[in-house]
Structure 1
Amino acid sequence: MLKDNKLRMLSFLVFALVAGVSSVSHAKTLKVCYDQWPPMTIFPTKEAPERGVVIDMVEQIYSSKGYALEYFEVPLARGLDMVAEGLCDMLPEYLYSKNSEKGFVYAGEASFSYATAFVVRKSDSWRYQGIQSLSGKRIATGPGWDYSSISAGYQHYIDDPANSDFVEVIAGYDDVVDRIIQMIKEDRVDLYADNDLVLQYVLNQLDLNDDLRIVRPGLEKKLVEMPIFSKKIPTEKRQELINIWNQGRLAMRGEKERALLSKYKVSL
């Protein structure tokens, strides 16, 4: 009898182990590509493990539905390629455009619609009052950065060869905005336009609120950023992932959204 009980217990343990392994092998995994755009999306380090407002949001929404998330921290262009190739299931923030590439599908709900703003030196009384107010100002931007969805006039101004002496293109991997902000402080350029939350975060992180100031309002339209999902995912599965995002993002409006922003010391 004792031997029978031991055999039963051994059989139960083997069954439980096999079931557990089977469960793990069939766990739902969401592969997420994203680029560095603090505080919305951040490449974590051992000293600073946080991934940013939008990644926290993605984590909460999909983990509540039983998904384990696998992250790929890559430049934006590489992330877009990986989504198109099916190496990533989604990229949480990409500029919305009706004429975008065809390797992905947009979600229905934006991650955020961002107001833009400018940053200038504290001593500079400049305010944005249309394209004419840019005359004579040294403007910083990054290589290939596209502002046309928020201001066609601003994009035309920085692209115009006649203004090339007043447009400084700052290249780099993941610290371009930080370097631009330092250049404004050092009087090497005069102004820079970006997402208001990004500017708040960078000035806080660099402890430059006494030297620089954020100028509002910024450019004419809001910057609408949307999650994108790979077309390599079977249609039914992709729609399920999109529905989870859409419903989850709607549910996070209000207090939950404010709490996430507050964690990174920024506010809408």
Structure 2
Amino acid sequence: MAQKIKAATVLKNEKIHKLLLLVTLFIGNSIVNISHAATLKVCYDQWPPMTIFPSEASSARGFVIDILHEIYTSKGYKIEYYEVPLARGLDMVANGDCDMLPEYLFSKNSEKDFEYATQATFSYTAAFIVRHDDPWIYNGVKSIKGKRIATGPGWDYSSLSVDYQNYITNLNNASFVEVLSGNDDVVERILHMIKESRVDLYADNILVLQYVMNRLNLNDELKIVQPGLEKKMVEMPIFSKKIPTTKRQELIKIWNEGRLSIKGKKEEMFINKYNVTF
């Protein structure tokens, strides 16, 4: 009987030893995998509801960042976010301090510093916003003559309408163009100015207009007018050319395939979370 007990004890100890060995190997592998998890450094600017800087009041980062997060974390990436003005973000990507920036208008002049993905982040419709009782509609540059137009310093609409851009930058029209400088609240200030009849109209991404109108509760005072400017605003992700080519191509491939997979109902789910819709 004693020998049987001894044999059983030895067998039990061997099983415990094997179990402990398996647990140790599992924990070790997990630690190695965590420590070697790929990190994606993302620069982005404030452009709600697409990209938003989180605050104490809200952790929301915007639906573009939500989509980016879904695409790369599903492939095992950890993401570091850098909330910076657009100009600084572009510099950081060009210098390799950030791996990518999720939205930037396509420009051949930028190709020397960045590489664009194939799949666009989004193609946005540009619309106008006016006072609710204003019957005005956009019918080319001739329809904005005599109207007081709001814009920001250096804002370039040429990818949407060369004629519109030429009109607002023409010094002969300077008395009809109000240029507002500032940081994140420029669009909000413009909408209040339209409400107060200090300017007449403003053109922007239709989702931006919806979001700010909802945020400021101005849907009874203002309205969105379509058609807007002639072309859509096609925003593309850009990737740093300081990244080794193999890694950069892998990041671009993950984006292209991931963005294609997030279409239709899934895309709408991300957008509708911010109470806006195309």
Q: Give TM-score, length-normalised by structure 1.
A: 0.94
Offset, 1:99: 2.8
Offset, 1:47: 1.4
Residue of structure 1 in register with 2:226 after alignment: 216
5+ residue gaps, structure 2: 1-9
Q: How does 1:49-128 map to 2 (within 5 A)?
A: 49-100=59-110, 102-128=112-138
Identical residues among aligned pairs (%): 63
Structure 1 segments, 4+ long, off by >4 Å, are: 1-18
Offset, 1:45: 1.1
- Residue among 158, 167, 183 paired with 1:157: 167
Offset, 1:182: 1.2
Offset, 1:16: 5.3
Answering whether residue 186 of structure 2 is matched by residue 176 of structure 1, we say yes
Answering whether residue 35 of structure 2 is matched by residue 25 of structure 1, we say yes
- Residue among 200, 210, 221 paired with 1:190: 200
Instruction: Name the CA distance, whole Å, in 2 between partners of 1:153 and 1:104.
Output: 28
Answering whether residue 256 of structure 2 is matched by residue 246 of structure 1, we say yes
The DSSP-based 3-state class of the residue aligned with 1:218 is: coil
Offset, 1:260: 1.1
Instruction: Name the CA distance, whole Å, in 2 between partners of 1:109 and 1:6.
Output: 53
Q: How does 1:200-239 map to 2 (within 5 A)?
A: 200-239=210-249
Offset, 1:8: 7.7
Q: Report the residue type matching 1:81 in the other structure.
A: D
Residue of structure 2 in register with 1:148 after alignment: 158
Q: Report the residue type matching 2:182 in the other structure.
A: G
Q: Report the residue type matching 1:55 in the other structure.
A: I
What is the total number of aligned residue pairs between the two structures?
Answer: 268
Residue of structure 1 in register with 2:270 after alignment: 260
Q: Give TM-score, length-normalised by structure 2.
A: 0.91
Superposed CA RMSD: 1.8
The DSSP-based 3-state class of the residue aligned with 2:224 is: strand
The DSSP-based 3-state class of the residue aligned with 2:182 is: coil
Offset, 1:42: 0.6
Instruction: Name the CA distance, whole Å, in 1 between partners of 2:184 and 2:99.
Output: 23
Residue of structure 2 in register with 1:134 after alignment: 144
